[in-house]
Amino acid sequence: MVTLDQIRRPIDEYILEFDAFVRKNFSETEGTLIGDMLEYVLSSRGKGLRPIVVMLAAGATSATGNFGKRTMLAAMLVEMIHVASLIHDDVIDESNLRRGQASVNARWQSRNAVIIGDYILARNMNIGLQSGQYDLLTHIIGAMSTLCEGELIQSDHASKLDTSREHYLDIIYKKTASLFSVCGSVGAISVGATPERVAAMRTFGKMLGMAFQIVDDILDFVPNNNTGKPAANDLRERKITLPLIEVLERVSVEEKEAIMHHLPLCAESEESVAYIQGKVEEHNGVELARQTVQAYLQRAMSALSVCEESDYRNSLLALCEYVVERDR
C-alpha cells in the first residue's frame, strides 16, 4: 500500500519550506481570539493533498525539473481557499468533528467560524495581490465562485431530495474537482509549462478530484472509518451520493419509495440511517461506486503521458493509487 510519505518524498524539503511559508503569512499574536483560531486551523490542516498536487505538477512539467517561490505561492493560495471552505462547510453541515477534533464552529461557535473563514480568504487575496503574480491569482480565484456554486446546487438538491447521477457529478466537480483541477494547472503555469502540459495537468487534477470526492462519499458509508468525521453524515444531511445513486438506479419502484421515505428521517432516526445503509450494502452500492472511481483514476493517469518519466510524475501516479486505497 502506497503511503503519503512515499508520495511526498521528491518534495520533502519543499513541504517544510511550504509549511514555514504558510505560518509566516497566516500567524497572529498568541492569546488573541484570531491568533488562537489561526493556530488551531494551521495545526490541524490535514493531509495537504492540494499543495502536494501543485508542487508535483510543477516539478513534472517544468523544463528544468525545478520549481521555486511562484509554485509555493500558488500552493498556499489554493490550500488556504480549501482551509476556509472547510471551515464554512462545517458551519453549513453543522458538523462538530473534523479530522478527529472539534470543528472550528464547535470550538468557537458558528458566527466566529464564518468570520475566520472570511478573514483567511481576505488575507489570502491580499497576499496574492501584493505578490504581483496576477496570472496565478487570476487562475486560482476563479475556482472560488465554482466552489460556492457547487455548495448551493448541492443544498438545493438536498432540500428537494432529487439528486440524480448528473446532478451529483456536477456537484462534486464544482465543490471538489474544480479546485484539484486548478492545483494541477496552476502548478504547471507557475513554472511556465507549455499549454499542452498545463491542459494535461488540469485534466489530471480534475480526474483525481472526482475520484477523491467519490471516495470521500464512499467512506461516509463505512462505519468506524478513520476519517475523523462522523459517519453517515451525508444521509443525515439528505445528501444523495454515488453509492446510494447506484442503488436507486437498480432497485424496484417499491424499494426506491421506501428508501426515499427513510432519507429525510435520517437526521433524527438511527433506524432510517441503518435502513439505507443496509440497502446500499445489499445492492453493492460501494463496490459499484468504486468502479467509477477507477474509471476517473485511469483518466488521471493517462493525462500524465505528456510528461517524461520523473520522480514527480511517479508520485502523481502513486497519488492515484493512494486516493483509491485511502481510509481517511
Selected from 8, 70, 88, 206, the binder of ligand FPP by CB under 6 A is: 88
| Angle (nearest 5°) at CA 80 between 45 and 111 | 85
Q: Which helix (H) or strand (E) holds 98?
A: strand 97-98
Q: Which of ligand FPP, Mg ion, none sits in contact with 219, Cβ below 5 to 8 A by type?
A: none
Binding site for Mg ion (CB under 5 A): 89, 93
Residue 16 is which amino acid?
L
Quote the least distance from Cβ 87 to ligand FPP, whole Å.
Answer: 8
Selected from 7, 72, 144, 266, the binder of ligand FPP by CB under 6 A is: 144
Shorter beta-carbon distance to ligand FPP: residue 17 or 89:
89
Nearest residue to 14 (alpha-carbon basis) of 60, 51, 63:
51
Q: Which of Mg ion, ligand FPP, none sits in contact with 229, Cβ below 5 to 8 A by type?
A: ligand FPP
Quote the least distance from Cβ 88 to Mg ion, whole Å.
Answer: 10
Establish if 231 lies at the interface with ligand FPP (CB under 6 A).
no
Radius of gyration from C-alpha coordinates of the chain = 20
Establish if 139 lies at the interface with ligand FPP (CB under 6 A).
no
Q: List CB contacts of 328: < 8 A, sequence separation 6 or more.
A: 219, 225, 226, 227, 228
The three grid cell numbers given for residue 71, joined into one nine-digit string: 509554485
CA 145/CA 17 separation, integer angstroms: 29
312: number of Cβ within 10 Å: 23
Shorter beta-carbon distance to ligand FPP: residue 96 or 284:
96
Quote the least distance from Cβ 86 to ligand FPP, whole Å.
Answer: 6
Establish if 147 lies at the interface with ligand FPP (CB under 6 A).
yes
Q: Which of Mg ion, ligand FPP, none sits in contact with 190, Cβ below 5 to 8 A by type?
A: none
